[in-house]
Amino acid sequence: MKDQVETQLYQTEGFADLERQFTEIIQHVRADTAVRQNFVKALRLAMEPVRAEVERTAPYDEENPRCPSRPFHMRDSVKLIARLPIEKDMKTGYGNENVIAVAVVSVKRSAVSLAMEYGTSRIGARKFMRKALQTQAENAIKIFKDQLSIMLPAYMAKINKRRGK
């Protein structure tokens, strides 16, 4: 029941207009170029609040500050990557043939980061990454939508200017 409630939080509107704009764009430029220059950029901007929240909430060991043997903490390794999907994305179960761009917020993969996020037999999970995505999901969707509504018409105007229209 909880999953049903959560999926109803997000409304999908405007896809027909988005598809029309993108179809018009790819008549004049390669689809992967248009995706990279619009969707990937918009995803990167949209996921920035998630990256910031992960960095803010990542476990930090205040009793053991940085030193030569511990030059960084987990929050120092948070990174955001936005890109076109690769073969590996399709094998994870999260990707499919409809995915045109991917954004990933991650921390350095280690036994410590995995234990913090998922827990162990002795320590409970501290879901800092999943919680960051949950708390920032609506904000990320809004930013993505807003960015695309600005980027796609501007991109089409740029194409038309090059074509002399």
Q: What is the pTM (predicted TM-score) of this model?
A: 0.78
Amino acid present at 95: G
pLDDT digits (tens, 9 = 90+) for 30-64: 988 999 999 999 999 999 999 999 999 887 767 66
Most confident of the following: 61-70, 89-98, 114-123: 114-123
pLDDT band at 70 (very low <50, low <70, confident <90, very high): low
User: Three-class SS string for the chain?
Assistant: CHHHHHHCCCCCCCHHHHHHHHHHHCCCCCHHHHHHHHHHHHHHHHHHHHHHHHHHHCCCCCCCCCECCECCCHHHHCEEEEECCCHHHHHCCCCCCCCCCEEEEECCCCHHHHHHHHCCCCCCCCCHHHHHHHHHHHHHHHHHHHHHHHHHHHHHHHHHHHHCC
pLDDT band at 13 (very low <50, low <70, confident <90, very high): low
pLDDT recorded at residue 68: 63
| Residue (of 60, 76, 68) closest to 126 by Cα position | 60
